[in-house]
A and B are shown apart, each in its own frame.
Chain A
Amino acid sequence: MVIRQALEHCSPRPACRGAGGPEQSRPVNPAAPFATLSNVSRTLAGREVVKELDLEIRRGEVLGLLGVNGAGKSTTLRMLAGVLAPTTGTIRLDGADLYENPGLARRSIGYLPEVPPLHDELTVEEYLGFCARLHGLGRGTAEAVDRVIQRCDLGGVRRRLIGALSKGFRQRVGIAQAIVHEPDLVVLDEPTAGLDPVQTRNMRTLVEGLAIGHAVVLSTHVLPDVLASCRRVAILHEGRLCYVADTAAPSTDGILVRVRTARAMRREDWPTLRIAASATPLDDDDPRHWRVHLPVGLRIEALPAALVERGFGVEELRPEQAPLEEIFLAIAAGERPAVAA
């Protein structure tokens, strides 16, 4: 059902356009959005690469932008980073239009493109110093460079030429240049591309740490990256925003949880609880283990309370792991009907 709804949201209807539809079913985040994309479209070489995109990014969260190649992820990130102006629509940072206030990009945004923009002939320290000054840091440049070198664990290579660094360190230097000026918004285009598993794990840790005090947007087509690092996920397909949800339980119409009761339950017991929209057994041999769909507006605490009150008890209760891969693949398959068939 979740997958079907995701695909329905991918149709070119106004309801599909923004985070508004799917987000309405999520708990409201009290933090005001730092970056807001409103009805943003971008045409490149006569083709509309991004279509009527509405998206909000809040401070303290990592938003994962998923999509197959050509879905419009990099173009979206370029627009968000201040590199490429939208053809229509507006991008606001803290309420101010990004493209009417280009100084905002300089101060407030850090951007790591898919290939880190490095100068191989300079040392790490020299390069980061230039990046800091480019983003408007003056006298505090040396301290900022020291801080970011420490944060990105680059102390051992600070005086080495960038051209002599390994892929993992180059990626770290790329992240360092994006955050050296302590931007409010960090935009990362496939930060783990080409890294080995150890480097990938370290990079995820670094990205998670960035969320403290920053709004972070990263694009990837590596699903574990999203599940490991991102609080929210947005899926783009053919330039259109198809799906936005929290990674913990990306359902669009309520909350999905797994519950193990103390006593066995029958399917007909659930309607008597008057709490679940639906419940399906997870194991035919274990009548205590269920996937429960709680409708919109119902708090999760109501479920164990009702189960205990009716004497079924609760041994285990946890959010349903994201069926993100299924959703992603279903959306991607929509791009290629032959495969979907």
Chain B
Amino acid sequence: MRLATPLIAAHEWRRLAVQPFAWVLAAVVVALMAWQFLLALEAFLTLAPKLGSLKDAPGVTDLVAIPLLRSFSNLLMLLVPLVAMRSIAGERRSHSLPLLLAGGVGNARIVVGKYSGALGYVVVLIVLVAAMPLALGIGTSLDLGRLLAALLGLVLFASALVAIGVMCSAWTSHPALAAASAFALTSLLAIVDAGARLQGVDNMGINYLALPTHIEPFFRGLVASVDVVYFLIVTAVALAFAAHRLDRLRSVAD
């Protein structure tokens, strides 16, 4: 019973691996990020002679690596709903959900298994993208502490997005609708404090709810427990809602 979660996660991973969708998505993401990386690197190489004369001049980490990862975090908001949309909605659509429900596996374990499988795929994408700036370490010195903080932030950010994606996937039997609602929900969390910030409010409860409030410190190299806890709470709450929804689905699943 304890092995059910990793089994479902591995199975989810396997199902993604045999679908052209996952490979095409990965190829498009890597190509897009590689293009951005090369543009940023070319700009850095152009600016490098001038930067050398400045005191405390920004390095390749500030001008190439972190902007690339920040750009990737924005892409994740679009990407993750596409990855997670089929996790439960796809099972319902193909009438295969009873296989899991009748397997004596609890709702929470099913949801965590699905979440882990989808998150594993997204983490691989993060590693592929991170390999680009990390490759610069061969020829120049990188601020590895800051890079690792940014990568930790990206993984936590992706974790929250995947959990929201799984939750939305549990709420409908249409994967496209699940993706759209997950995108809408994460977009809402991204701009929930935009109005308050325009009025100069940046330290209130509304700011705490916003995703950018908590991902930006990681890009600056700050790992604060409040930000880690935020992403963990979002992940846990979304997965709890998904598990609750799965319980309701037991009465109607065919």
Which residue numbers of A lie inside 8 Å of B, CB to CB? Answer: 44, 74, 78, 81-85, 102-107, 109, 111, 113-122, 126, 130-131, 133-136, 177
A116 CB contacts on chain B under 8 angstroms: 95
Tell me the bound Cα distance from A216 to B86 in angstroms: 33
| Contact assessment for B11 and A82 in the assembled complex, using a CB-CB cutoff below 8 Å | no
| Contact assessment for B98 and A134 in the assembled complex, using a CB-CB cutoff below 8 Å | no
Name the prevailing secondary structure of the B interface residues: loop
| Contact assessment for B250 and A84 in the assembled complex, using a CB-CB cutoff below 8 Å | yes
| Contact assessment for B15 and A121 in the assembled complex, using a CB-CB cutoff below 8 Å | yes
| Contact assessment for B102 and A83 in the assembled complex, using a CB-CB cutoff below 8 Å | yes
A-B contact count (CB 8 A): 82
B253 CB contacts on chain A under 8 angstroms: 78, 83, 113
| Contact assessment for A82 and B251 in the assembled complex, using a CB-CB cutoff below 8 Å | no
A168 to chain B, nearest CB (A): 17
| Contact assessment for A117 and B98 in the assembled complex, using a CB-CB cutoff below 8 Å | yes
A18 to chain B, nearest CB (A): 24
Interface residue? B47 (CB, 8 A): no
| Contact assessment for A119 and B102 in the assembled complex, using a CB-CB cutoff below 8 Å | no
| Contact assessment for A113 and B103 in the assembled complex, using a CB-CB cutoff below 8 Å | no
| Contact assessment for B101 and A83 in the assembled complex, using a CB-CB cutoff below 8 Å | yes
Which residue numbers of B lie inside 8 Å of A, CB to CB? Answer: 1, 3-4, 7-8, 11, 14-15, 18-19, 94-106, 250-254
A109 CB contacts on chain B under 8 angstroms: 102, 104
Pull 28 A–B residue pairs with CB atoms less than 8 Å apart, ordered by A: A44-B251, A44-B252, A83-B102, A83-B253, A85-B250, A102-B106, A105-B102, A106-B1, A106-B104, A106-B105, A111-B102, A113-B253, A113-B254, A114-B254, A115-B95, A117-B95, A117-B98, A117-B99, A118-B96, A121-B18, A122-B14, A122-B15, A130-B14, A131-B99, A133-B7, A134-B7, A134-B103, A135-B103
The 10 closest A-B pairs by CB, nearest first: A106-B104, A117-B99, A105-B104, A115-B95, A117-B96, A111-B102, A113-B98, A134-B103, A83-B101, A81-B102
| Contact assessment for B104 and A103 in the assembled complex, using a CB-CB cutoff below 8 Å | yes
Chain B residue at minimum C-beta to C-beta distance from A106: B104
Chain B residue at minimum C-beta to C-beta distance from A135: B103
A177 CB contacts on chain B under 8 angstroms: 99
| Contact assessment for A113 and B18 in the assembled complex, using a CB-CB cutoff below 8 Å | no
Tell me the bound Cα distance from A107 to B103 in angstroms: 8
B194 to chain A, nearest CB (A): 40
Q: Which of B4, B94, B252 has the most CB of A within 10 A?
A: B94
Chain A residue at minimum C-beta to C-beta distance from B16: A121
B250 CB contacts on chain A under 8 angstroms: 78, 83-85
Tell me the bound Cα distance from A305 to B233 in angstroms: 80
Tell me the bound Cα distance from A122 to B96 in angstroms: 13
B103 to chain A, nearest CB (A): 5
B106 to chain A, nearest CB (A): 7
A113 partner, pick from B11, B95, B106, beta carbons under 8 A: B95
Chain B residue at minimum C-beta to C-beta distance from A114: B254
Tell me the bound Cα distance from A177 to B95 in angstroms: 14
Tell me the bound Cα distance from A130 to B18 in angstroms: 15
Tell me the bound Cα distance from A111 to B100 in angstroms: 11
Tell me the bound Cα distance from A130 to B103 in angstroms: 11
Q: Which of B3, B96, B100, B105 has the most CB of A within 10 A?
A: B96
Tell me the bound Cα distance from A281 to B183 in angstroms: 76
Chain A residue at minimum C-beta to C-beta distance from B99: A117
Q: Which of B7, B8, B94, B99 has the most CB of A within 10 A?
A: B99
Chain A residue at minimum C-beta to C-beta distance from B7: A133
Chain B residue at minimum C-beta to C-beta distance from A98: B104
A134 partner, pick from B4, B94, B97, B252, beta carbons under 8 A: B4
B95 CB contacts on chain A under 8 angstroms: 113, 115-117
Tell me the bound Cα distance from A44 to B251 in angstroms: 7
- Given the interface pairs A83-B253, A119-B94, A119-B96, the reply to whether A105 lies near B15 with Cβ below 8 Å is no
- Given the interface pairs A119-B15, A119-B96, the reply to whether A84 lies near B251 with Cβ below 8 Å is yes
B94 CB contacts on chain A under 8 angstroms: 117-120
Q: Which of B11, B14, B19, B97 has the most CB of A within 10 A?
A: B11
Q: Which of B4, B11, B94, B98 has the most CB of A within 10 A?
A: B98
- Given the interface pairs A102-B104, A134-B7, the reply to whether A122 lies near B98 with Cβ below 8 Å is no
